[in-house]
Structure 1
Amino acid sequence: MVFCGKPSGGCHACRARKTRCDKIDITEGGCTQCKRAKRTCPGYRIAGELMFRDESSNVVRKFKATEARHKKALAGRRHFDVSSSSIQSTLSSPRVSESDQEEKYQSDISVTSPQVLQQDQLSLSYSLAPNLEDRATSFFAFHYIMDPKGPSKPLMDRATDLFQNQHLDESLLASMRAVGLAAYSHTAHAPSLMNNAKYQYLRAIQFTNAAIRNPEDVKKDSTLMAIQILAIFETVTGCRQRSLKDWIEHVYGAAAVIRLRGPEQVQTLGGRRLLLHAVSNILINCVYRGIRLPEHLREYLFETFKQSAESRLEYLLMDVMVRFADLRAGVQDGSVTGLANILSSVLEMDSVLLKLCTNPPPGWEYETILTDAQTDVIFDGRYHIYSDHLVALMWNWLRTLRIMLNGMIREILLNGFSATPPLFTQVKYTAQFQTATETIFALQGDILASVPQHVGRGNPPRSMATQAQSDNNEEVPSITMSEASSLIWPLWFAGNMANATDQIREFTLRILHSIGDIQGVRQAHVLANLLQTKSAIRVWDVQRETAHPSRSALLIQDSLKTS
């Protein structure tokens, strides 16, 4: 029974017309209003009987409707079958200083609950009241461990096997929780969760350093993956240029673990995938700084190429990146000389990538859409549609590498034109200079055309949990943080070129800040600020020995020295 308050004492006719009823006794003909209207007064209700109303049927109806919605939501969710023993623990309120973390930017979206990844081969398992750690692990799984529908596999797909086999070491779990909590803190307007994220981050470092001192644990895939996820933490939380240094420290920490893992790691598919993920991040640093890839990584990388049953685009792309890093290092240390010789090498590498562009492997094709739609995420009236996120990622790194190669071609030719006596005086070199310039503009446009698929077609999504709609109202997948974060470096390279127009730079800045605000990848703001101030990444030029002593990379290096 439901208490309804004091009911009106007027007759039904007066209550229906919302007129004042003088409530004259019905034996005297009823109220004055009914008499004036020449109608029979319907009489009055007994107030005591109306103080409470039977709501049983309404309660049952509401309960059944809520239960139906709940069952529908559970049926649509996607879950990992993670054992409760591996993820259940009480998370105390950590006391971690926030002096190094500036919450300069606030997210514009709200996410009420994290989504969870579905794997067909895993049994469904869920909890009606997941704790904070469960939610953080699920949030990380949705955003960084995908079930791709296209021809490629995600770089973190090895985690799927670890989840299925329940080989989730504490270092891996803590790193996942750290990233999940940090990401959820940004997207759900919950800055208090950042304390919990930092607490899990420190626990992950402690568990990881304990693992690398164990001859058996250091060779586990979970140990290497934990370090790679710690690097993701810096991408998600980094608000200063210092975060780029912290990120690369974890990347080199992964390289040190790869050395300890030995040649056996390339014998399994999961080991090769983890190796490629680590080496791809290191190559970014090597190409940018003009330093050679460490010899042990080079050895394992090329062994991975041999183990592959077929030639894949990412293998060819990484091979060119290794050669380009070698060339830049040789030019800087003086072991490679002669402008003509350097030009010939760069042109040869660009020709390899040009063949990939004109004749991509099956499944790597994309569609170009021309539109008159005026949106913040479409540049110059066109955008691309790729079969999946990993295909778009590989294309953008191919374009980024070609931009750097053609930028070097222009630089070599300009130096030759201005030399005394001048070099490259033949007409073909002038045409080559023009071709390189036009190629850079075209590649910049292609990177910008990939933006809508990375951040949501039409407009940036209002929520990480909602589905964006395409121009023809077809459903497209929810945008993950992994997709958004993979775009920030190609965008930065495209906007950082000397020939970038004001329109390109403004668009690039807007998208980078959008990724930082909406997708919650805070390091995008760092790259945007570097682009806006036309600054170099100074922290990468500092000797790694001066890094913070708590970083996993240096502790791993200490283990290498004592092993």
Structure 2
Amino acid sequence: MVFCGKPSGGCHACRARKTRVSRIGIYVKNSVILVLEGQALLLNRLLSSRFFTDQPQCDKIDIAEGGCTQCKRAKRTCPGYRIAGELIFRDESSNVVRKFKATEARHKKALAGRRHFAASSSSAQSTTSSPRVSESDQEEKYQSEISVTSPEVVQQDQLSLSYSLAPNLEDRATSFFAFHYILDPKGPSKPLMDRATDLFQNQHLDESLLASMRAVGLAAYSHTAHAPSLMNNAKYQYLRAIQFTNAAIRNPEDVKKDSTLMAIQILAIFETVTGCRQRSLKDWIEHVYGAAAVIRLRGPEQVQTLGGRRLLLHAVSNILINCVYRGIRLPEHLREYLFETFKQSAESRLEYLLMDVMVRFADLRAGVQDGSVTGLANILSSALEMDSVLLKLYTNPPPGWEYKTILTDAQTDVIFDGRYHIYSDHLVALMWNWLRTLRIMLNGMIREILLNGFTATPPLFTHVKYTAQFQTATETIFALQGDILASVPQHVGRGNPPRSMATQAHSDNIEEVPPITMSEASSLIWPLWFAGNMANATDKIREFTLRILHSIGDIQGVRQAHVLANLLQTKSAIRVWDMQRETAHPSRSALLIQDSLKTS
């Protein structure tokens, strides 16, 4: 209740003239009725003497029955006195209702963009500790941007929930990550982070893993919900994850845990989600090589379990991308564990055969660059042999890996040239795109070798079959480029036919437009960049790839897509990769790995 001062006992005319009253003729000693929110509240208490008193006060006005003497002397009609008991409390019902509705409207507006996030079930225990972290360069990168005083960097009133038992911010971030990167898809493949499901069920959740999940979950939700205030929380969790990871690497037992390796891999995902500059590509690959160093410390026992093999394949696949691009060999210990994983598998899966060819192709490119492989005929023979293996996979895929090609006249920004593919799940589409990318690189090498032979003195490859091979390689490159573009709707489009990304982002019909996970969108950015960066890419193809990459960055929240789009637009190479050392090295997220390797 607001205290408005001692009420005047004068009549209306005297109060308007600011004439002081001599004494109060009405004494209130009984109960008073308070009207609030439409209900009568009986207050059985005596009123405080600060408002009313039984003792008269000497002043200028005499109160008389029928009116005051001051009004009588002024020859005006006295309007009478107010009932003193009614002056003690004021009816604030309308003001209370107005303020309540305004507050409720603000909460609804704040929570409107977070409904699906708040509805996600909590799946991990939260932590309340808030230690400072890591001496790494990443800490210097982010400490200049944030000042962490507690785990809840964002004020609670910004993210207040309607229910007291709703999951807290950290639990919701973990659930958001699980939805986008862990949940099983409906198809023959398994998610890249499916090992986390077993760790959740067995309660083997170390702080490094939890903090990395929260970091990615908060960063991803910050982009998709347009809540930039959450990014400070994400960076805080990122630095905590680095600290816990470094602590795990110091421990000879913790470094062999699946949770430690998975935490480093998730830190690489953080760079994909948040990276707005080309440096993020360097940070991403350094995390990947940090995982490679941890794989060495884990030893051969890791390939004895299914979960260990899955984590190994995920880490090695990312390293192979860098090795093939830069033309360097896969580190020997990774090669050994990878081939042992192939032997442990009872079936020949498409990804195993694909990774085997990637290893061989990286070796071939490295051999050509360092001069250990010479002779155009030898190089051509090796490239043709590897492409024949991939061609068999292409024409005779394993069961469940087939896809359909749909021709349509529908006008939408995610369909290129009226054609798109339908795959059983997005991971199958990912494998197909890497197969296409690898075949494009192989056929590009075949064309280059043949051209060098045609123009040599004396000319080489004069037989007519080489001319046919050159034409076949050229047509293959164009066809595979079109297939990559046809896979775009699988990763970013929904509906039949696929709808535009902007339409899906603002759709309220969840059943009509199923949600697209960030793992789906992020798995497309590298093949799409490669297709748009090819020498034969037309202006129409470049415009399409640029639009999709920027849409993935804006709508799906994968910020690294903007980096690749800028590289494509400026026709620039990935300079940060070219400046890296030719040998694999651990990431800044695991500085202690180097020392561990020296002492092991």
TM-score by structure 1 length? 0.78
Deviation at 1:53, TM superposition (A): 20
CA contact under 8 A between 1:110 and 1:189: conserved in structure 2? Answer: no
Deviation at 1:173, TM superposition (A): 0.2
CA contact under 8 A between 2:354 and 2:390: conserved in structure 1? Answer: yes
CA contact under 8 A between 2:504 and 2:513: conserved in structure 1? Answer: yes
CA contact under 8 A between 1:115 and 1:465: conserved in structure 2? Answer: no
CA contact under 8 A between 2:414 and 2:501: conserved in structure 1? Answer: no
Q: Distance in 1 between matches of 2:73 and 2:393?
A: 93
Q: Is 1:229 aligned to 2:254, yes or no?
A: no
455-464 vs 231-240, greater mean Cα deviation:
455-464
**1:74 paired residue number:** 111
CA 199–120 in structure 1, closer or farther in 2 if over 3 Å, else same: closer
Secondary structure of 2:503's partner? coil
CA contact under 8 A between 1:24 and 1:30: conserved in structure 2? Answer: no
Q: Distance in 2 between matches of 1:551 and 1:264?
A: 26
Structure with larger Rg: 2
421-430 vs 162-171, greater mean Cα deviation:
421-430
CA contact under 8 A between 1:117 and 1:146: conserved in structure 2? Answer: no
Deviation at 1:62, TM superposition (A): 20
**1:507 paired residue number:** 544
Match of residue 596, structure 2, among 554, 559, 562: 559
Tell me how many residue pairs correspond in the alignment. 562
CA contact under 8 A between 1:172 and 1:222: conserved in structure 2? Answer: yes
CA contact under 8 A between 2:532 and 2:541: conserved in structure 1? Answer: yes
Deviation at 1:405, TM superposition (A): 0.7
Q: Distance in 2 between matches of 1:100 and 1:135?
A: 28
Deviation at 1:493, TM superposition (A): 1.0
Deviation at 1:514, TM superposition (A): 0.6
Deviation at 1:383, TM superposition (A): 0.5
Q: Distance in 2 between matches of 1:132 and 1:71?
A: 17
Secondary structure of 2:406's partner? strand
The two structures, once aligned, show a CA RMSD in angstroms of 8.6
Deviation at 1:277, TM superposition (A): 0.0
**1:417 paired residue number:** 454
Q: Distance in 2 between matches of 1:17 and 1:122?
A: 52
CA contact under 8 A between 1:454 and 1:483: conserved in structure 2? Answer: yes
Question: Any idea what the Cα deviations from partners look like across 1:258-297, whole Å, max 9, x if unmatched?
Answer: 0000010000000000000000000000000000000000
Match of residue 469, structure 1, among 495, 506, 512: 506
Q: Distance in 1 between matches of 2:366 and 2:147?
A: 46
CA 410–63 in structure 1, closer or farther in 2 if over 3 Å, else same: same
CA 377–462 in structure 1, closer or farther in 2 if over 3 Å, else same: closer
Q: Distance in 2 between matches of 1:35 and 1:454?
A: 89
Deviation at 1:128, TM superposition (A): 3.8
Question: Any idea what the Cα deviations from partners look like across 1:60-85, whole Å, max 9, x if unmatched?
Answer: 99999999999999999999999999
Match of residue 495, structure 1, among 532, 540, 557: 532
Secondary structure of 2:420's partner? strand
Matched residues, percent identical? 96
CA contact under 8 A between 2:287 and 2:588: conserved in structure 1? Answer: yes
Q: Distance in 2 between matches of 1:57 and 1:314?
A: 68
Deviation at 1:542, TM superposition (A): 2.0
Q: Is 1:97 aligned to 2:134, yes or no?
A: yes
Deviation at 1:561, TM superposition (A): 2.0
Deviation at 1:419, TM superposition (A): 1.4
User: Any gaps of 5 or more consecutive residues in structure 2?
Assistant: 20-57
CA 525–9 in structure 1, closer or farther in 2 if over 3 Å, else same: farther
Deviation at 1:129, TM superposition (A): 1.3
Question: Any idea what the Cα deviations from partners look like across 1:125-146, whole Å, max 9, x if unmatched?
Answer: 9994111101110110001112
User: Any gaps of 5 or more consecutive residues in structure 1?
Assistant: none
Q: Distance in 2 between matches of 1:306 and 1:365?
A: 25
CA contact under 8 A between 1:496 and 1:531: conserved in structure 2? Answer: yes
Q: Distance in 2 between matches of 1:44 and 1:211?
A: 81
Deviation at 1:190, TM superposition (A): 1.1
Deviation at 1:470, TM superposition (A): 13
Deviation at 1:543, TM superposition (A): 3.4
CA contact under 8 A between 2:124 and 2:200: conserved in structure 1? Answer: no
CA 341–72 in structure 1, closer or farther in 2 if over 3 Å, else same: same
Q: Distance in 2 between matches of 1:244 and 1:144?
A: 20
Deviation at 1:552, TM superposition (A): 1.8
Deviation at 1:437, TM superposition (A): 1.0
CA 217–417 in structure 1, closer or farther in 2 if over 3 Å, else same: same
Question: Any idea what the Cα deviations from partners look like across 1:106-160, whole Å, max 9, x if unmatched?
Answer: 9999999999999999999999411110111011000111212111111110000
495-504 vs 340-349, greater mean Cα deviation:
495-504
Secondary structure of 1:436's partner? helix
CA contact under 8 A between 2:272 and 2:280: conserved in structure 1? Answer: yes
CA contact under 8 A between 2:276 and 2:562: conserved in structure 1? Answer: yes
CA contact under 8 A between 1:4 and 1:52: conserved in structure 2? Answer: no
Match of residue 419, structure 2, among 374, 382, 394: 382
Q: Distance in 2 between matches of 1:246 and 1:330?
A: 27
Q: Distance in 1 between matches of 2:277 and 2:477?
A: 29
CA 459–525 in structure 1, closer or farther in 2 if over 3 Å, else same: farther
CA 418–372 in structure 1, closer or farther in 2 if over 3 Å, else same: same
CA contact under 8 A between 2:212 and 2:266: conserved in structure 1? Answer: yes
CA 461–99 in structure 1, closer or farther in 2 if over 3 Å, else same: farther
CA 262–511 in structure 1, closer or farther in 2 if over 3 Å, else same: same
Question: Any idea what the Cα deviations from partners look like across 1:395-436, whole Å, max 9, x if unmatched?
Answer: 111111111111111111111112122211222212211111
Secondary structure of 2:582's partner? helix
Match of residue 156, structure 1, among 193, 199, 208: 193
Q: Is 1:17 aligned to 2:54, yes or no?
A: no
449-458 vs 399-408, greater mean Cα deviation:
449-458
Deviation at 1:256, TM superposition (A): 0.3
Q: Distance in 1 between matches of 2:60 and 2:384?
A: 100
CA contact under 8 A between 2:283 and 2:587: conserved in structure 1? Answer: no
120-129 vs 340-349, greater mean Cα deviation:
120-129
CA contact under 8 A between 1:2 and 1:55: conserved in structure 2? Answer: no
Q: Distance in 1 between matches of 2:13 and 2:189?
A: 72
CA contact under 8 A between 1:78 and 1:115: conserved in structure 2? Answer: no
Question: Any idea what the Cα deviations from partners look like across 1:16-61, whole Å, max 9, x if unmatched?
Answer: 9999x99999999999999999999999999999999999999999
Secondary structure of 2:82's partner? coil
CA contact under 8 A between 2:549 and 2:561: conserved in structure 1? Answer: yes
Deviation at 1:225, TM superposition (A): 0.1
Question: Any idea what the Cα deviations from partners look like across 1:438-479, whole Å, max 9, x if unmatched?
Answer: 111111111111101111236999999997999999856410
Deviation at 1:558, TM superposition (A): 3.0
Secondary structure of 2:422's partner? strand
166-175 vs 33-42, greater mean Cα deviation:
33-42
CA 280–539 in structure 1, closer or farther in 2 if over 3 Å, else same: same
Match of residue 188, structure 1, among 212, 222, 225: 225
Question: Any idea what the Cα deviations from partners look like across 1:239-260, whole Å, max 9, x if unmatched?
Answer: 1111000000000000000000
Q: Distance in 2 between matches of 1:122 and 1:48?
A: 44
Q: Distance in 1 between matches of 2:575 and 2:451?
A: 26
CA 554–115 in structure 1, closer or farther in 2 if over 3 Å, else same: closer
Question: Any idea what the Cα deviations from partners look like across 1:315-362, whole Å, max 9, x if unmatched?
Answer: 000000000000000001101001111011101101111111111100
**2:315 paired residue number:** 278
Q: Distance in 1 between matches of 2:591 and 2:142?
A: 30
CA contact under 8 A between 2:62 and 2:70: conserved in structure 1? Answer: no
Q: Distance in 2 between matches of 1:95 and 1:106?
A: 10
Question: Any idea what the Cα deviations from partners look like across 1:515-541, whole Å, max 9, x if unmatched?
Answer: 011101000111111111111111112
Secondary structure of 2:592's partner? helix
75-84 vs 340-349, greater mean Cα deviation:
75-84
Q: Distance in 2 between matches of 1:383 and 1:346?
A: 29
Secondary structure of 1:494's partner? helix
517-526 vs 88-97, greater mean Cα deviation:
88-97
Secondary structure of 1:367's partner? strand
Q: Distance in 1 between matches of 2:400 and 2:60?
A: 82
Q: Distance in 2 between matches of 1:326 and 1:80?
A: 45
Q: Distance in 2 between matches of 1:152 and 1:355?
A: 20
Secondary structure of 2:511's partner? coil
Q: Distance in 2 between matches of 1:480 and 1:392?
A: 14
